[in-house]
Amino acid sequence: MNILKFGGTSVGSIESITALMEILKSREGTENPVVVLSAMSGITNALLEMAESAKNLKDYSESLKLMEERHFTIIRTLLPAAAQNPVLTRIRIYLNELEDILQSVYNLRELSPQTRDLILSYGERCATEMISHIAKQQFKDVLYADGSELIKTDSNFGQAKVNVNLTEMLIRTFYGSNKDKLIFVTGFISSNDEGRVTTLGRGGSDYTAAIWGSALDADEIQIWTDVDGMLTADPRIVKKAFSLPELSYTEAMELSYFGAKVIYPPTMIPAFLKKIPIVIKNTFNLDFPGTYIKHGVSPSNLPIKGISSIDGISVLNLSGSGMVGKAGFSGRLFSMLSREQVNVVLITQSSSEHSITFAVKPSDSLKALSLINKEFDLELQAKKLEYPEVENGLSILAIVGENMKRTPGMSGKLFSALGRNGVNVRAIAQGSSEYNISVILSKSDLSKAVNAVHDAFYSDLKKTLHIFCLGTGNIGKTLFAQLQSQMQFLADHNDLQVKVMGISNTRKMHLDPNGIDLTQWEEELDMANMKASLPDFIKKMKAMNLPNCVFVDNTASPNPVEYYLDILESSISVVTCNKIGNSADYEQYAAFKQAARTYGVDFFYETNVGAGLPIIRTLRDLMLSGDKVARIEAILSGTISYIFNNYKEEILFHEIVKEAQDKGYTEPDPRDDLNGKDFMRKMLILARDAGYALEEKDIELQNMLPPSCMAAVDVDDFYAELKNNTDYFEGLKKQAAAEHKVLRYIGKLEDGKVAITLQMVDESHPFFTLSGSDNIISFTTNRYKDRPLVVKGPGAGAEVTAAGVFADIINIGKR
């Protein structure tokens, strides 16, 4: 036989009770289960509040009325009129009794633990009466059982201890004479020798189910709740948390000890002792097969079973010379705390014995502090111990799983995930069983930390990059389209998910904690009612505190650059196609690189030179492998390349410039291309990456435009001046053609010096044949001495640039 326990949410509404009946229906024909029920969701809390209100002479009648209404509504909806009266009367009797008790509390202004337990018992009684009556309509031989009469305990009200032998005998006897009936029994409540109601403490209904299961040697104890069993992490924190099919009792206890509220650990003990499987099922998702907690779980490929966390924790640290070599010191500390009912959640001790750090619930922290001050008064006064302080605002994160015992590198993985994401670890403890490694960290880091650790351990399952993008122009737009169309492929082939969490241009910004739907980012940005503000955008990005976070700069503006350092120092990677950052002061360039190293994040800018062509990466690989650059020769302006490759026959110079702009090759301001500034920036970045600490002023730039074009005040004026100088450009074209040469704007780095010059080259020159917006770069190095390493291909355009940005993002994901 089975025990089926339904929690508060499963008896809390018309829908859930209907579902509950369906679940029982589907089992008809098999042996009757014993059904254990909780109070309707929210009722236990309401009862506690009513009791407190009564004691404090506050009005509780509203809540009482509400409690009645919730039960009556369900009865009136789910029972035919003729069947309603008996149960309405029953509930009314209960509520009258309850009202009398509350009135006495009110009169006496006194609420004893005994009375509180009695008050609480009405939650389970009302729910169980109600549901057993509803069941009577659909099942024959339904029996309501008041569980408090069958579970006998001591008089420790609020958290009574069960008299196991007597209880098991009572349950067996009761069940023996009611075997053929469908029994509905109240969870949570019990009674002492005098027959006074006691309660079993937190999670008490699960405990009732386990006690019944153990007494009756059940085949299975099913805990029906509103989630898909035990998950790898709290789903409110980790969106990708997934259900675990199987857990050992120890794993389940470790996981629930640190926060997983699905089942309360002590409740498992009777089941554990008798090796009865506990199955967690979802009343609202019958397709979910359940999480099995049992003996002899099958070997699992999961490195850890889950990550659990406690949100609010306080830490006390006791240190001083007085502890060194003193046997029994920690014994004295912890037995004193236990005697005084302070629950110690975690302990770490330094091996020098100089200090003990331990964690307690924040509500216990001041009590612990004053107990220590009292207990160690002499040592404190003699300065053998430092006065302890309470540190608040902390959380615990724990990884749990029996596989840890057998697998090296688990703690390495944990700490590198935390370190990479800038999470500072305050204290560490590993259970001696090796089922659990716990760390204490700042509460504000908890969500990020749990996500990062989840990603690290289940990375073969799926990793999410959270990206925040500036710029929705040529490159930004194209990047979103590419991301959108590659999404599925990435998930299928790289186990990678890229989520755009925020987008801003100069007008508006939009951030969405669930990720922005890229099929309609433009509409969402349009509708967003946040005016663009770079500082706010960055503040919000940092506040989201997400793991694997990337800031993407697709602008041509100097403003975002001012924040790169701060962003990198917040453990957020930066991907940028904007060259302004790397081509300003050398000092700044070096600071970006240093910050990325220090904070363990990436600073990627492949598209700064040659758009998507692998130039920066190639140079980096050469340098990292110990090669030395002797010379770089390159054509690095896609725009000028396009112009010279197509400036032929009839077409005029200013027309071809316009064409390059229309094709998306130019900078937002095409003057930046033609005046050589863009080229100069690229050469500067390459020279720096090649190890030369150059500044802009060190670069020799031969200007290819007549002075009036250089002096143009805006883009329109610039085009007008290009047109005015048609003869000059035609002259260049004709001269080149006459000499069977082509025009090339070429950059050269040699002996630490950079020059960019306009040249006419013949077919013997390796840069003679180029087409479209091609860039070409040749590296002559110690290893590539006789024949240089050459990279060539389209070096401008939205598609190839966005693809380069995309690749940088993916490379962050792969690390």
Q: How far apart are CA 606 and CA 627, in angstroms?
A: 20
Rank residues 473 and 600 by Cβ distance to ligand HSE and give the closer one.
473
Q: Please count the residues of this chain forming the interface with ligand HSE, following the rule CB under 6 A.
A: 11
Q: Which partner from the list ligand HSE, ligand NAD, Na ion, none does 555 bind, CB cut-off 5 to 8 Å by kind? A: ligand NAD
Residue 675 in the binding site for ligand NAD (CB under 6 A) = no
Instruction: List, in sequence order, every residue forming a beta bridge with 243; answer none if it has no partner.
Output: 231
Binding span for ligand HSE by CB under 6 A among 522-530, 664-672, 731-739, 757-765: 664-672
Rank residues 573 and 637 by Cβ distance to ligand HSE and give the closer one.
637
Which SS3 state, helix, strand or coil, does residue 157 take?
coil
Burial of residue 584, with CB atoms counted within 10 A of its CB: 0-12 exposed, 13-18 middle, 19 or more buried? middle
Beta strands in 129-207 (DSSP E): 142-145, 182-186, 189-191, 197-199
Query: 38, 348, 578, 780: which one contacts ligand NAD (CB under 6 A)?
Result: 578
Q: How far apart are CA 350 and CA 521, in angstroms?
A: 52
Beta strands in 493-606 (DSSP E): 496-504, 508-511, 530-531, 549-553, 573-576, 603-604
CB of 563 to ligand NAD, least distance (A): 10
Contact 611, 797 (CB under 8 A): yes
Structure tokens at 789: 């390493």
Residue 147 in the binding site for ligand HSE (CB under 6 A) = no
Rank residues 513 and 558 by Cβ distance to ligand NAD and give the closer one.
558
Which SS3 state, helix, strand or coil, does residue 772 take?
coil
Residue 482 in the binding site for ligand NAD (CB under 6 A) = no
Residue 534 in the binding site for ligand NAD (CB under 6 A) = yes
List of residues 6+ apart from 626 with CB closer than 8 A? none
Identify whether 663 is a catalytic site residue.
no
Instruction: List, in sequence order, every residue forming a beta bridge with 309; answer none if it has no partner.
Output: 397
Residue 678 in the binding site for Na ion (CB under 5 A) = no
CB of 682 to ligand HSE, least distance (A): 7
Residue 639 in the binding site for ligand HSE (CB under 6 A) = yes
CB of 643 to Na ion, least distance (A): 20
String of DSSP letters for 231-245: BSS-TTT-TT--B-S
747 to 786: interface string for ligand NAD, x by CB under 6 A: ----------------------------------------
Q: Which partner from the list ligand HSE, ligand NAD, Na ion, none does 615 bind, CB cut-off 5 to 8 Å by kind? A: Na ion
Q: How far apart are CA 564 and CA 576, in angstroms?
A: 10
Contact 397, 446 (CB under 8 A): yes
Q: Which partner from the list ligand HSE, ligand NAD, Na ion, none does 673 bind, CB cut-off 5 to 8 Å by kind? A: ligand HSE
Contact 810, 604 (CB under 8 A): no
178 to 217: interface string for ligand HSE, x by CB under 6 A: ----------------------------------------
Please say whether the dihedral angle defined by the alpha carbons of residues 684, 686, 688 and 691, taken in this order, is positive or negative.
negative
Q: How far apart are CA 450 and CA 398, in angstroms?
A: 9
Near ligand HSE in 667-726, by CB under 6 A: 667, 673, 678
Near Na ion in 613-632, by CB under 5 A: 613, 615
Q: How far apart are CA 537 and CA 555, in angstroms?
A: 15
Q: How far apart are CA 338 and CA 340, in angstroms?
A: 5
Binding span for ligand NAD by CB under 6 A among 11-19, 577-585, 616-624, 764-772: 577-585
Rank residues 426 and 508 by Cβ distance to ligand NAD and give the closer one.
508
Among 244, 283, 209, 210, smallest CA distance to 458 is for: 244
Residue 686 in the binding site for Na ion (CB under 5 A) = no
Structure tokens at 622: 């050469």
Rank residues 220 and 673 by Cβ distance to ligand HSE and give the closer one.
673
Binding span for Na ion by CB under 5 A among 329-337, 607-615, 679-687, 782-790: 607-615
Query: 606, 667, 672, 774: which one contacts Na ion (CB under 5 A)?
Result: 606
Q: Which partner from the list ligand HSE, Na ion, ligand NAD, none does 813 bind, CB cut-off 5 to 8 Å by kind? A: none
Burial of residue 146, with CB atoms counted within 10 A of its CB: 0-12 exposed, 13-18 middle, 19 or more buried? middle
Q: Which partner from the list ligand NAD, Na ion, ligand HSE, none does 613 bind, CB cut-off 5 to 8 Å by kind? A: Na ion
Q: Which partner from the list Na ion, ligand NAD, ligand HSE, none does 639 bind, CB cut-off 5 to 8 Å by kind? A: ligand HSE
Residue 484 in the binding site for ligand NAD (CB under 6 A) = no
- Residue at token pair 């209100």: 53
Q: Which partner from the list ligand NAD, Na ion, ligand HSE, none does 637 bind, CB cut-off 5 to 8 Å by kind? A: ligand HSE
Query: 13, 159, 163, 559: which one contacts ligand NAD (CB under 6 A)?
Result: 559
Q: How far apart are CA 18 and CA 30, in angstroms?
A: 20
Amino acid present at 754: V
Amino acid present at 792: K
Query: 8, 259, 795, 804: which one contacts ligand HSE (CB under 6 A)?
Result: 795
Contact 777, 610 (CB under 8 A): yes
Residue 129: count of CB within 10 angstroms of its CB: 23
Contact 208, 151 (CB under 8 A): yes
Structure tokens at 311: 């949100």
Which SS3 state, helix, strand or coil, does residue 364 take?
helix
Q: Please count the residues of this chain forming the interface with Na ion, following the rule CB under 5 A.
A: 4
Residue 444 in the binding site for ligand NAD (CB under 6 A) = no
Rank residues 305 and 671 by Cβ distance to ligand HSE and give the closer one.
671
- State the number of CA atoms in the 13 A half-sphere of 737 facing the CB: 12
CB of 675 to ligand HSE, least distance (A): 12
Catalytic option among 55, 294, 682, 792: 682
Structure tokens at 741: 């040469």
Residue 556 in the binding site for ligand NAD (CB under 6 A) = yes
Rank residues 379 and 672 by Cβ distance to ligand NAD and give the closer one.
672
Q: How far apart are CA 315 and CA 358, in angstroms?
A: 6
Q: How far apart are CA 545 and CA 188, in angstroms?
A: 40
Residue 232 in the binding site for ligand NAD (CB under 6 A) = no
CB of 606 to ligand HSE, least distance (A): 11
Residues of this chain that interact with ligand HSE (CB under 6 A) are 611, 637-639, 665-667, 673, 678, 795-796
Footprint of Na ion on this chain (CB under 5 A)? 606, 610, 613, 615
What is the set of active-site residues?
682
Which residues sit at the interface with ligand NAD, rule CB under 6 A? 470-476, 504-506, 532, 534, 554-557, 559-560, 577-579, 607, 611, 638, 664-665, 667-668, 796-798, 801
